[in-house]
């Protein structure tokens, strides 16, 4: 399986310059190819493939763009691969072959949106402890060693929130272990991040709220500064760093939760929530966004195979929170404000935490689907 590790780099000023140059060349190639595709579409011609575009570019560049020889070959190749993927995503989305949110036609990349990124092929660099050795760039210090052992497939170097980072893709050898853990259900909560059918409660992160307050303050600070001024530029960098911090904290909390779940349980049942639909309910919006359900599911699904665990999403029409886990009685009057499940079946009268009752229903439904 393929894993990626993102590591912050400490380049020298000269190396940072080379990074900017490579990212700039990659952006130029991407835009050059996109322009050619747009022209072809405008003239009703067939859309050229990214390989054809790359070959054309390489034929003319000695004369037309000699400066592109200053950067490594893979930055240019990678730009055309990215373009090909963007166009494919757009076409597949339009034809319905790609599910989910509609993907728009690729946009030109702008220098205003940061320095950008570039690709480095695996034969162009190597890593050794805290050192990255890359052709045309030299040895660059990495803030941590590569976490994964395996065949390195390639890397992307990207400028983000004031730092250059490298994301290294590694093919990790993998024999799925046999998981002997129990089956659990997870109710993604509103007051807490998640409750499992075994009663484990994972709290929403409080520090995330604090970090969000910082983002709001910096946002105001940016809008008070004169457009185009040096002070505004500085404030924008600060804001970008704060945003990045929030994103990292959010992901970190979810990583701990999802790893704990798939390590413990051989079967993890979760609700297939319509997050987009629920976000429209404004009162819940912040809590749901904080909990980042979609990200949680993504993490669970990619981590589960590594532990030999399995994730099953149950339909959101299964009334997990309105059904009694003990007797199956359905209580339609349950409101969000009621935190306890008090079964209204006079023969049952089960009294249980609402989320725990839901988590047990999710577990049972997942077990049913797993054996079906």
Interface region with Zn ion, contact rule CB under 5 A, candidates 71-79, 84-92, 216-224, 335-343: 335-343
The yes or no reply on residue 327 touching Zn ion (CB under 5 A) is yes
User: What is the Cα–Cα distance from 251 to 326, expressed in whole angstroms?
Assistant: 35
135/331 with CB nearer Zn ion: 331
Quick one: 176 or 328, whose CB is closer to Zn ion? 328
343 counts as binding Zn ion under rule CB under 5 A: yes
Q: Give catalytic residue positions.
A: 187, 271, 355
Nearest distance from C-beta of residue 109 to Zn ion, angstroms: 58
CB closer to Zn ion out of 68 and 325: 325
In angstroms, what is the minimal distance from the CB of 344 to Zn ion?
8
Nearer to Zn ion, 68 or 320 (CB): 320
Select 60 or 338, whichever has its Cβ closest to Zn ion. 338
> Judging by DSSP bridges, how do beta strands 267-271 and 183-188 pair with one another?
parallel
Q: Which of 348, 352, 367, 369 binds Zn ion (CB under 5 A)?
A: 348
Distance from the Cα of residue 276 to its chain's centroid: 16
73 sits near Zn ion (criterion: CB under 5 A): no
| Choices 181-189, 241-249, 331-339, 340-348; region in contact with Zn ion by CB under 5 A | 340-348
- Binding mask 202-231 toward Zn ion (x if CB under 5 A, else -) reads ------------------------------
- Candidate residues 4, 273, 350, 369; the one interacting with Zn ion per rule CB under 5 A: 350
139 is a contact residue toward Zn ion (CB under 5 A) = no
Q: How far is CA 29 from CA 77, 103, 339, in A?
A: 9, 21, 56
The binder of Zn ion chosen from 221, 255, 345, 367 (CB under 5 A): 345
Question: What is the size of the binding site for Zn ion (CB under 5 A)?
Answer: 8
With b meaning 16 or more CB within 10 Å and e meaning fewer, what string describes 324-361? bbeeebebeebeeeeeebebeeeeeeeebebbbbbbbb
- Between residue 297 and residue 326, which ones bind Zn ion under the rule CB under 5 A? 324, 326
CB of 343 to Zn ion, least distance (A): 3
Shortest reach from residue 328's CB to Zn ion, in Å: 7
**Of the listed pieces 44-52, 58-66, 268-276, 341-349, which binds Zn ion according to CB under 5 A?**
341-349
Cβ at position 369, least distance to Zn ion in Å: 22
Q: What strands lie across the sheet with 183-188, from one edge to the other? A: 201-202, 194-196, 183-188, 267-271, 310-314
Instruction: Specify the residue, 60 or 330, whose C-beta has the smaller distance to Zn ion.
Output: 330
Q: Which residues contact 291 (CB under 8 A, 6 or more apart)?
A: 188, 189, 190, 193, 194, 204
Tell which one of 263, 329, 331, 369 touches Zn ion (CB under 5 A).
329
Encoded one letter per residue, x for contact with Zn ion by CB under 5 A and - for no contact, window 33-52 reads --------------------
Q: Is 232 in the site for Zn ion (CB under 5 A)?
A: no
Query: Contact region for Zn ion (CB under 5 A) — 13-21, 181-189, 242-250, 338-346?
Result: 338-346
- Which residues of this chain interact with Zn ion, rule CB under 5 A? 324, 326-327, 329, 343, 345, 348, 350
């Amino acid at each position: 399986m393929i894993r990626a590790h993102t590591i912050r780099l400490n380049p020298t000023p000269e190396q940072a310059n080379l990074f900017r140059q490579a990212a700039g060349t990659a952006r130029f190639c991407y835009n050059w190819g996109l322009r050619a595709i747009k022209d072809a579409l405008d003239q009703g011609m067939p859309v050229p493939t990214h390989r054809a575009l790359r070959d054309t570019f390489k034929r003319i560049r000695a004369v037309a763009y000699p400066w592109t020889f200053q950067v490594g070959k893979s930055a240019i190749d990678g730009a055309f691969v990215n373009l090909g993927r963007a166009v494919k995503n757009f076409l597949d989305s339009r034809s319905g072959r790609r599910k989910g949110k509609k993907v728009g036609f690729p946009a030109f990349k702008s220098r205003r949106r940061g320095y950008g990124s570039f690709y480095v092929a695996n034969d162009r660099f190597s890593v050794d402890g805290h050192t990255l050795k890359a052709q045309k760039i030299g040895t660059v210090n990495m803030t941590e060693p590569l976490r994964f052992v395996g065949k390195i497939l390639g890397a992307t170097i990207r400028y983000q929130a004031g730092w250059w980072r490298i994301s290294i893709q590694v093919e990790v050898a993998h024999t799925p272990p046999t998981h002997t853990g129990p089956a659990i259900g997870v109710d993604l909560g509103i007051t807490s991040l998640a409750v499992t059918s075994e009663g484990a409660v994972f709290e929403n992160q409080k520090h995330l709220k604090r970090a969000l307050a910082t983002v709001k303050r910096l946002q105001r600070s940016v809008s008070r500064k004169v457009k185009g001024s040096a002070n505004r530029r500085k404030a924008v960098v600060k804001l970008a760093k704060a945003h990045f911090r929030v994103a990292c904290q959010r992901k970190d909390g979810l990583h701990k939760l999802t790893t704990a779940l798939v390590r413990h349980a051989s079967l993890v049942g979760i609700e297939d929530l319509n997050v987009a639909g629920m976000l429209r309910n404004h009162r819940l919006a912040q809590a749901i966004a904080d909990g980042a359900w979609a990200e949680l599911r993504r993490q669970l699904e990619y981590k589960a195979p590594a532990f030999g665990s399995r994730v099953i999403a149950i339909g959101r029409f299964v009334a997990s929170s309105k059904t009694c886990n003990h007797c199956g009685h359905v209580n339609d009057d349950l409101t969000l404000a009621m935190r306890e499940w008090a079964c209204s079946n006079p023969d049952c009268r089960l009294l249980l935490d609402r989320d725990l009752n839901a988590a047990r229903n999710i577990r049972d439904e997942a077990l049913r689907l797993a054996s079906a």
